[in-house]
Each structure stands twice: as structure tokens, then as C-alpha cells.
Amino acid sequence: MEPLGQNFAPRMKDYGSNIVAGIAPGYGGALLGDIPLFDMVEQVVAAVGTIDVSVICTHPYGVLDAALEAMHSGVRQLVLVTQGVPPLDMVELIRRAEVTETLVLGPNSPGLIMPGKLLLGVHPPGHYAPGRLGLITRNGPLTYEIAHALTHEGLGQSICVSIGSDAVLGSTFQQWLQILDEDEGTDVIVLAGEIGGDNEEAAAQYILEAIDKPVIAYIAGHRAPKDRRLGHAGAIIASQLTDLGVDLGTAESKVAAFKRAGGAGGAEALGDW
């Protein structure tokens, strides 16, 4: 039984999430508090019916098997809390998820929280308050910090989600921007990015083209060492194939991308201070 799941499954249920079962091979028939444990996902489906979401906290090399098992049983939303999932396993999982139209959050994600309603993952609920502001990030602790600051200022949140910070991710800023843009409980979107990669530049372009709600973008990392490249090789190559400049992945590049979107009424960009 994985300690992370053992610790957080009862917390999710106590928060109000409808946690119907836990999967712990070899512990089928046991209880985790009042949560029944099963050996396989298909046994849960046979016992309780359709499952909407699976929160996966297993060790990195077991994530692919756990995800495929859930998908085989009809689960179409996966939250991958585990850090360090092998990249090739994620490539395989994303390919399978596209075929089955499964939404994958993570890996290395604290999950999703709808303050006062639902917790799927390891967010610390005390930082959040119900409201109408949606928050999307790449970094778990940054999510908590921003949510705490918003709550302190009386700005409650509708949905807070971190897409994760591993090398290969299951879902993108664009997918969650679309979800929040269509969510009737969200009036304004806050997107918190960081240096490295091209996620934020792609998100800025998507905001310009497809998002109707106001978006405030924050980029962390302006004070990172200038002589150390933190982005990945793909971002460097991609920068030479676009008009975004050779500094794609830097804080300056990301802020500039959001400012371009803001100039067309799509987003307001902030750097860190």
C-alpha cells in the first residue's frame, strides 16, 4: 500500500470528495478508515458502478500499468500525483489516452481542488477559499502560495489545478484554459508559469486565439541565473522555426508572449518581483 495514497485518500474523502474505493493489490477486502480496498479496478466497477476519476499515487514505474488498468475499466479522468514517471511510459500513456479520450492531469501534479467542494490530490485545503477565480499552474508549491495570497485578499477560487512539472505531461495549459473558459463558475483565469520549455508561449497564443474570459498571467523565474539554460532542446529548436525569438523559454520570452496576447485584449502579463 503506497504511503502517499494511504495518507491522502482519507483527507480527500474528509474534504467532501466521493472516494468510493482504494486500489492496493494484496490488500483486497481490507479497509483504509472507512474506504474499502480492492486488488483491481475492475472489481471496484463491478461493486459500485462507473468511476469518474482515478487518483494515482503509485511508484513511478507502476504508473503506466495503473493508468492503463483504470482506462480499461472505463475511467476517463486520471490524476497522476507521482513524480518521475519514465518519459517513454508517459508517451505511451498519452497515446492511449488520446484514443480513449481520457484527460490526464500530471504527472508530478498536486491534482485539482474546487474549494469547498472537491479535492483530488494533495493540495493543502487551508490555502483555498470558494470563489469565481480559476487558477492554472505548472508548479505545486507555487499553486499553494498564489492561492493563499488570493484567499488573503478575499479572492476565492472556483478551480485550482497544476498540470505538473515532469518532462512529459498528460495535459496542457491550453486544455485547462478551455475547461475554465467554458466553466460557468469561473469569471477570471490566473495562469502561473515559470521559465523553461515553451508551455507558456503556446498558452499565450491559445489565449489570443480562443479564450474569451480575462486572463492574468504570472511568470516566475526572472532572477534565475542567466548563464544556465533551463529549457529543453525541443524548445530551443522550436524557437528557430517561429517568430518568437531564440530566447524561447526565458522569463522575458514568456512575458513578451503574454503581452502580445494582452495587446489584443486576451491577457495581462506580470513578472515576479
**Which positions are annotated as active-site residues?**
232
The phi and psi torsions of 208 (rounded to 5 degrees) equal -60, -40
Where do we find the cell 480575462?
Answer: 214
- Which has the closest alpha carbon to 162: 113, 221, 212, 235? 113
**Contact yes or no for 254/193 (Cβ under 8 A):** yes
**Contact yes or no for 191/173 (Cβ under 8 A):** yes
- Which has the closest alpha carbon to 200: 153, 259, 240, 147? 259
- Which has the closest alpha carbon to 161: 36, 247, 53, 237? 53
Q: Report the C-alpha gap between 8 and 20 in whole angstroms.
A: 14
Q: Report the C-alpha gap between 6 and 244 in whole angstroms.
A: 45
